[in-house]
Amino acid sequence: MPQMTFVEQDGTERTVDAPLGLSVLEIAHKHGVDLEGACEGSLACATCHVIVDPTWAAKLTEPTDDEEDMLDLAFGLEKTSRLGCQIVMTEDLDGLVVRLPRTA
């Protein structure tokens, strides 16, 4: 099974199983990672904002205009910011690393 690593706000790294077809948001919830997702993945908020490790950012599909619009509402944006609900685990993403933003 693929795995991914969450870097929590305090810098703690947590590597978890990441079932294919689940979003980063769903994987976070499955493993008790503190990633809110207030809209439950319907692309109506920015509370599942994550920062993708730069080595992985190019492997993701480009964000849609809707995702870009929602990211404009997020705090602590960085060049590789994405919404966790829009990143779906594939075999190619085995080993993905995302960091939770320090600000909320």
The whole model's pTM is what?
Answer: 0.95
Residue range 23-67, pLDDT digits in tens: 999 999 999 999 999 999 999 999 999 999 999 999 999 999 999
- Supply 59's token pair: 């492997």
Helix, strand and coil percent figures for the chain, each rounded to 5: 25, 20, 55
Q: What is the mean pLDDT of the chain?
A: 96
Does 103 have pLDDT greater than 80?
A: no
The answer to whether 85 and 48 have CB atoms below 8 angstroms apart is: yes
Go through the domains of the chain in sequence order and give each one's CATH number.
Answer: 3-99 (3.10.20.30)
Burial class (CB in 10 A: 0-12, 13-18, 19+), 86: buried
Give the per-residue pLDDT at 102: 84
